Chain A
Amino acid sequence: MRDAKKRLRRTMMFLNAHKPGLIKDPYIYGADSLMLDLEDAVAENQKDAARFSLFHALRTIDYHGAERIVRINGLDTPFWKEDIRCAVAGGCDGIRIPKTETAQDVKIVEQQILKAENEFGRPENSTLIMAAIESARGVVKALEICEASKRLFGIALSGGDYTKDLHTHITGTGIELMGARQQLVIAARAAGVQCFDTVYTDLENEEGFREDVNTIHLMGFDGKSIINPRQIRIVHEIFTPKEKEIIFAEKVVREIDSKKAQGIGVFTVDGKMIDIAFYDGAKRIIELAKASGVYEGEL
């Protein structure tokens, strides 16, 4: 479960679970995670039908290693419990809770998941959780949400609802999201879980999207929710470590490994002062480079 929680999730692509044309082979686009949606994308009167197509998609379609997360309906709806039964029975990798506001929300969902795992003979704790934060209250409670369950691998900002709650709207500049982004990523890091940014809906504005992804990458996010496969390549490009970074990280790891043996604490690599505090970051770059398919070195 630990490994599953830490997997690479640069892109999470939303797909309406009710649309057969969308869910039959979305893995070809190469998103790290697929977000099979029972919530907003599905019309109120199709909630039941969407579950059947979700169930059979999970059971029969080979998603070629892409992670399959199911976004269930909100805890304030009559749908979410059956959504969980269906998704767990189908064998999804994780459940995304919408509109999470408290640790209690996560715990309630966790109980239902456990119940479903037992009912359908799935291994206990095999189903992960991620929580979407869509309100000011959720942002304020981010840390407790992050720490609410050992199944929880990350939190995601959902910008549309959040900005409404904040009495503003999506401007394209990112100003309205600054506080929430900062708080969420800090909370997630403090709790040792991942953090994902909201969708960027202006598909025609490639430059704007690039800037947006650059920003959240520098802020420390692990990935971004996306609504169109055309966005995948751009996110992956930005999240893939550059050659220079990889070479430097490789040197740092090697140097620290050898200097540690010699008992030396501080030294220089390429003229930069390096100590043990650089180790985890360098390791992470190597891991990310490996996962992105650009590193074939020995580390």
Chain B
Amino acid sequence: MKNAVGREIPEEILKITGKEVFHGVYYYDGYEYRKDGPKTRCVVNSDGSKLVKTIHEALVKCEIRDGMTIGFHHHFRDGDLVVNMVMEEIHKMGIKNITICASSLGKAHAGLVPYMEDGTITGIQSSGVRGEIGKAISEGKLKGLAVMRSHGGRVRAIETGEVHLDIAFIGAPTCDDYGNCRGIGGKADCGVLSYAMVDADYADRVVAITDCLVPFPNFPAHISMTKVDYVVVVDAIGDPKKIATGAAKPTKDMRKLMMADYCTRFVTSTPYFKDGFSYQTGVGGASIASTISLAKIMKERGIRMRFGVGGLTKPMCDLLDNNQVDVLLDTQDFDLDAVESVKDIRHFRISAGEYADPFNKGAVVNKLDFVILAALEVDVNFNCNVVVGSDGVITGAQGGHPDTAAGAKCTIVLTPLLQGRIPAICTEVTTVTTPGESVDVVITEYGVAVNPLRKDLLEAVKNSGLPLKTIEELRDLAYRIAGEPEKVEFGERVVGIIESRDGTIMDVVHQIKPFRFKEEKNILPEPVHK
């Protein structure tokens, strides 16, 4: 059945998952439902400690068994050690058919591939997957379907009970013996625990896992003891070098600087750029550069930002330090400066639900004026792909992309026209992850395309001197330079689904197929004999 972005969703997938096809961004507005809840085991006694000696003991106490779903967060990013540690123990115990429901999985989790192959892990639900694990899913090594959900979508799935977490493991940079967790301090300082908060609220059993046990009470707690069953102390929960790096040096790449310049000029030409505006941006070189140049213009024009949100980096925190923004709302910290900034009283931690969940009574993304995003591919209908590489292999994550795009008044996507030889602006994206109806502007180093649905924005920037082009013109430019790419040929089997933030199916991901040359007949000259 075709969905609202023109993607064919196989009937069989609709049957297996019981899901609907994507009907449009606001299809579920006003929808009523009763929230799922955890099965809670009360602690009435006053023995005083929730410490258990090992992960193994915690698993036994949580009554781990075949077929369970385990929750994890990804605040330790590429430095995460928790997922592998827990899964290794589960594997040793001979448990099978585990579904991992993580806020994201990445390069750190290549070690899970053998567990997919031997049936320990048969389900993966995540914002996305990078590296080896993405490749393994694309090659069909996962028995079940991989489900790719946005950050807001994950909270929705858990709150509605679409997925129920049997056990959640929460890596906590600091924790006391009664389960009060903080994202600040310790060796694996990651600043916030936003993505884990829904796990703490909805999992039947919650295990805090830390490498820095502190005396009770570890306050103010980011995750409260009232939600935690057990506490395990291990040697290390993360590799600090890979959790938060030093702030990225501002880019010197002229293409990125051009995109940043166009972005800033676009932002400042819209009516939303006025005192009290709100803003979210990403971690790429171009978005960081544009934040820096935006700060300059804000200063020149005496314009103040009301709030900045999202995964945060130094340039956003600099706005706070320089008193150019009232507050920051933080879901994740990408560099040490952002981690440090969490201590500022105007820097607020928010949960993934507050940030982006479409199924609560209104999330922060709905209050955004601007969001600056990136994409692997954008097509002429402004649909974006941030998950599947143009070679067909799963290689990225939805993150908050569809959430912020749906919420923000002005959604800007920055991408170079070509990624190597591959046109980033194309006729049809390999996989749709964010629907074009929520994407307003695409900025490349070759020019700026405004979604024709946004006549107001087109009108606002028509005299800005920006190199305005239609999205088709950008695509044609790319194809003229690189040649028109052929479509990747996939196998029959569906290995994953791209869930829309409301739980409907945006697209499916098929198993990859080895490349074969098209021309079967030999076009080579006849052999000559010497």
Contacts and interface: CB of A to CB of B under 8 A. Distances in A.
**Are A and B bound to each other?**
yes
A203 B255 CA distance: 16
Contacts of B252: 203, 230
A28 B257 contact: no
Contacts of A62: 480
Interface string B442-475: 0001100000000000000000000000000000
A24 B252 CA distance: 19
Nearest to A232: B254
A278 interface: no
B378 interface: no
A228 B258 CA distance: 14
Interface in B227-269: 252, 254-255, 257-258
B258 A230 contact: no
Contacts of A28: 255, 258, 445-446
A29 interface: yes
Interface string A200-218: 0001000000000000000
Contacts of A229: 254
B257 A230 contact: yes
A28 B444 CA distance: 11
A25 interface: yes
Contacts of B524: none
Nearest to A231: B254
B484 to A, nearest CB: 16
B445 A24 contact: no
Nearest to B420: A21
Contacts of B254: 29, 228-230
A272 to B, nearest CB: 33
A230 B253 CA distance: 9
Interface in A54-73: 62
B263 to A, nearest CB: 16
A208 to B, nearest CB: 16
Nearest to B261: A233
B383 to A, nearest CB: 25
Interface in A6-45: 24-25, 28-29
Interface residues of A, number: 9
Contacts of B481: 24-25
Interface in A203-252: 203, 228-230
A24 B257 CA distance: 19
Interface string A45-89: 000000000000000001000000000000000000000000000
Contacts of B445: 28
A211 B214 CA distance: 58
A28 B477 CA distance: 12
A62 B252 CA distance: 26
A210 B257 CA distance: 19
A75 B446 CA distance: 39
- Chain B binding site: helix, strand, loop or mixed by DSSP? helix
Nearest to A29: B254
- Tell which of A24, A25, A203, A228 has the most Cβ of chain B within 10 Å: A25
Contacts of A230: 252, 254, 257
Contacts of A29: 254, 258
A229 B445 CA distance: 13
Contacts of B257: 230
A59 B255 CA distance: 24
B9 to A, nearest CB: 38
A5 B166 CA distance: 77
Nearest to A62: B480
A32 B270 CA distance: 31
A24 B255 CA distance: 13
A58 to B, nearest CB: 16
Nearest to A26: B254
Contacts of A228: 254
Contacts of B255: 28
A230 B481 CA distance: 23
A196 B252 CA distance: 26
Nearest to A230: B254
Nearest to A229: B254
- Tell which of B252, B254, B446, B480 has the most Cβ of chain A within 10 Å: B254
Nearest to A21: B420
A28 B446 CA distance: 7
A25 to B, nearest CB: 7
Nearest to B482: A24
B264 to A, nearest CB: 14
A259 B325 CA distance: 59
Contacts of A203: 252
Contacts of B446: 28
A172 to B, nearest CB: 20
A62 B446 CA distance: 14
A275 B18 CA distance: 87
Nearest to B446: A28
A230 B261 CA distance: 12
A230 B255 CA distance: 10
A276 to B, nearest CB: 37
B316 to A, nearest CB: 24
A28 to B, nearest CB: 6
B478 to A, nearest CB: 11
A29 B446 CA distance: 9
A229 B254 CA distance: 6
Interface in B338-356: none
B446 to A, nearest CB: 6
Nearest to B447: A28
B151 to A, nearest CB: 35
A62 B476 CA distance: 14
A71 to B, nearest CB: 21
Can you list the 4 inter-chain pairs with the closest CB atoms, starting with the nearest?
Answer: A229-B254, A230-B254, A28-B445, A29-B254
12 contacts: A24-B481, A25-B481, A28-B255, A28-B258, A28-B446, A29-B254, A29-B258, A62-B480, A228-B254, A229-B254, A230-B252, A230-B257
Interface of B: 252, 254-255, 257-258, 445-446, 480-481
Given A24-B481, A62-B480, 8 more contacts: A25-B481, A28-B255, A28-B258, A28-B446, A29-B254, A203-B252, A229-B254, A230-B254
